[in-house]
Amino acid sequence: MAALIPGNCYSHINGMTMIDHPDQVERLMERLGAALPIPACLTPEVQMTLRQQRGVAMPADCSVTWISYAGDEGGIVCRLEAPAETAEAVFASITHLRFDPRLPFTREIVAYQKHRVKRLRIQRQ
């Protein structure tokens, strides 16, 4: 169970700082789950990684068809489907996806992405 430390905006478990805000993740997961499938775009980096490491040629345009929270280590993970079907399931972190700015929850996704990337960067230092 996560507890907020007074005067600190980050959650802590057993004295360790968490990357994600549990309340933010829970709210975002509820909104995204209710909106599935969601159109998304893969970043060029993820497309290249899929091609090089798994031999999967995934187009940039895809749909998020399933989401799950992989804890602080993995964040929000999305199952992707593309118009051109691939032979195997493709999963990516939501931080490696881009969304149409006109979607009602894109601002929340972008806030989650920025926060997560910033916290990961700080944690690596």
The Cα–Cα gap between 30 and 6 comes to 26
Helix (H, G, I), strand (E, B), or coil: what is residue 63?
strand
* Average pLDDT value for residue range 98-122: 93
pTM: 0.80
Strands (E) across the chain are located at 3-4, 11-13, 16-17, 38-42, 61-69, 76-81, 90-93, 97-98
Radius of gyration of the chain (CA): 16
Q: How do residues 32-90 score in pLDDT, each as one tens digit? A: 999 999 999 999 999 999 889 888 888 899 999 999 999 888 899 999 997 766 667 88
